[in-house]
Chains A and B, each alone.
Chain A
Amino acid sequence: MSAVIETMTPDERLWAAIRLERPDRVPVLPTLLPEPAATLAGVSQAEVAGDVETAVKAVFHVFDEVGGWENPYPASYTPLQLQAGGVFPMPMRIPGVDLADDIPYQLDEKELLVPEDYEALAELGFERFYYDDFLWRIGNLERDELSPVQTAMAQGGALFLQECARRDTRPLFLASALHPFFTLSLMRSMVPFTQDLYYAPEPVERALERMTDDLIEKQVPFAKQLGIDVWLLTEERASCFFFPPSVFERFWWPHTCRIVEAFWAEGIVTLFHLDTSWDKNLPYFKELPRGSAILELDGNTDIVAAKELLRGHMCLKGDVPAALLSIGTVEEVEAYCRKLIDSIGDDGGFILSSGCSVPADVRPENFRAMIETGKRYAPR
């Protein structure tokens, strides 16, 4: 393996990549959430799902054990805290409660939003609709539990920042949201949402419009207040893996442009978390301002083709597949990472990472191999 000579700090390295400049080496930034961190730190899924402090400590235990990487991916949550925060608005099955202790929490797809609710969403906005009504349909939380859960989440966030500061680093981002389209798909569930898009689209459009307004009005000032330069926007169900370009163009892309441009006007970069194959959607991203976004890809999008298309326009993050980290060998992980660095990491604009999140059953030696290869391998 060729040697790497480091001349940049982790933050400088990361930002060189985001700004599409050539860093001293490829930055490494795995999406390490509490679920894989639990496995790597030797605690159970039930423990990290039940206590945010345990979750944060597991993440930093792993961070320290492998000698760190570029800026940590924020992971200060328990599943119920995500739900209390309006993220993943659907029923959850929790390890130690509804699932065995060793199985990570999962979303349980159910049709809880009804067609009439689109009008309520358009009228009231997401936040009011969610906390006055929808959250209580989900059934994981009781009303008197909300405030303590939110407080614990804030404490977890503070602990995460303290742990970052102790290591002289900072999180990749602090603000995040699900895309309104993804949010609606989760609340309504996949099949009825698809039927609505095709058979009764106008109410969906009105809800999406209002939710986009709300997101911009709430999240941009919040991000500015925090002084952050990256925020996360998650979308797992809008690509051409699911929908034809006509649906994408009508229901997703215009809202997305508005969101990205509102953040970019404040100098804030949007980190897209994009699951499934976005191969056919990639050309659209050229319409966004240069450097305004990072595309985090999960291994199902052709990242080499993405690089060819978006070279010099947008940074890519990815994409060591979950299956490879779960069942592959160290040699296979190293080879995959080297190939990524050789093929798309030569001129900046690339962050080596897991595809989607590091899987909860990651093999420790594979995780280490990904980090080490990123840190030590110099492109040919």
Chain B
Amino acid sequence: MSEELSMAILELAHDDVPEMIGRRLEAGEDALAILAECREGMTRVGQRFQDGDYYLAELLLSAEIFKAAVAQIEPHLPATAHDRPAGTVVLATMRGDIHDLGKNILATLLRAHAFEVHDLGVNVEPAVLVDKVREVRPDFVGLSVLITTAFRSMQEARRLLEEAGLRDSLHLMIGGGVTTPELKTWLGADFQSLDASEGVAWCIERAEAR
């Protein structure tokens, strides 16, 4: 695997990345290999973030570069080339809250690590979340929250998941500026973080442990 593309993503070279991808697709390189190199770049960005050398801003920028790269590569992927995802995730900001910045970052980072993400958006009713979980049987449910008025609907979602017999088959994670370890306990969630990158690392660890 060449390192040129993953290094360009690591260095947030937003102009160079599409140019490199275009050149390599035109040269007939395997689209899957190009995508893998983009993912490698995102892994390096995540590592730099974990090391404290990158901040949320750089995560955002890399996520945007990666999204554009996927859009550029996807039409060139063979129909049979879709790998088995690393895991399936349902994300939502629950009723009472319309903020989605953190959730959107998490969604992009998870996709960069080959997770299949179903993003339900904001102000989501608990019953809608449960229906989606019933439909796609995810490995993870992630609830993002910025204001406390969504706490009760998050609690209701967890209760409905339990009543439907769906809670035990998935990992429930929460994230966002107002979340705390105490909230995790109160909700009966499995993971809590203020940091999307930490959430991705946790999903990868859990997925690998399966």
Contact = CB atoms under 8 A, between A and B. Distances in A.
Interface string A325-361: 1111000100000000000000000000000000111
Given A106-B98, A108-B98, A323-B178, A361 B56 contact: no
Contact of B148 (A99, A108, A326): A326
Contact of A361 (B60, B151, B182): B151
- Which of B12, B60, B148, B151 counts the most chain A CB atoms within 10 A? B148
12 contacts: A103-B95, A103-B149, A108-B98, A198-B61, A199-B14, A240-B55, A322-B178, A325-B148, A327-B151, A327-B183, A332-B182, A360-B147
B56 A323 contact: no
Most buried by A among B98, B100, B101: B98
B55 A244 contact: yes
Interface in A242-276: 242-244, 247, 275-276
Nearest to A191: B60
B79 interface: no
Contacts of B134: none
A195 B147 contact: no
Contact of A324 (B14, B147, B182): B182
Contacts of B178: 321-323, 326, 359
A300 B180 CA distance: 10
Interface in A167-201: 190-191, 194-195, 197-199
Given A103-B149, A300-B177, A326-B148, A93 B98 contact: yes
Contact of A242 (B56, B95, B100, B183): B56
A242 B55 contact: yes
Given A93-B98, A244-B58, A361-B149, 12 more contacts: A103-B149, A104-B147, A106-B147, A109-B101, A194-B57, A195-B61, A197-B57, A242-B57, A323-B179, A325-B148, A360-B147, A360-B148
B115 to A, nearest CB: 21
A321 B180 contact: yes
Nearest to A35: B149
A241 interface: yes
Which 6 A-B residue pairs are closest in the complex by CB-CB distance?
Answer: A359-B148, A326-B148, A323-B180, A244-B55, A242-B56, A243-B57
B61 A328 contact: no
B99 interface: yes
Contacts of B183: 323, 327
B10 to A, nearest CB: 14
B12 A198 contact: yes
Contact of A326 (B60, B61, B99, B151): B151
Given A241-B56, A242-B55, A243-B57, A191 B148 contact: no
A190 B101 CA distance: 8
A357 B185 CA distance: 23
Interface in B156-200: 177-180, 182-183, 186, 194
B119 interface: no
Contact of B99 (A109, A332, A359): A109
Contacts of B57: 194, 197-198, 242-244, 247
B24 interface: no
Interface string B107-140: 0000000000000000100000000000000000
Contacts of B148: 322-323, 325-327, 359-361
B96 to A, nearest CB: 5
B90 to A, nearest CB: 22
A194 B55 CA distance: 12
B152 interface: yes
A361 B152 contact: yes
A67 to B, nearest CB: 25
Interface in A51-96: 93
A93 B147 CA distance: 14
A276 B177 contact: yes
Given A104-B149, A198-B12, A327 B55 contact: no
Contacts of B182: 323-324, 327-328, 332
Interface string B13-47: 01000000000000000000000000000000000
A108 B123 CA distance: 12
Contacts of A321: 178, 180
A325 B64 CA distance: 36
B139 to A, nearest CB: 26
Interface string B49-81: 000001111101100100000000000000000
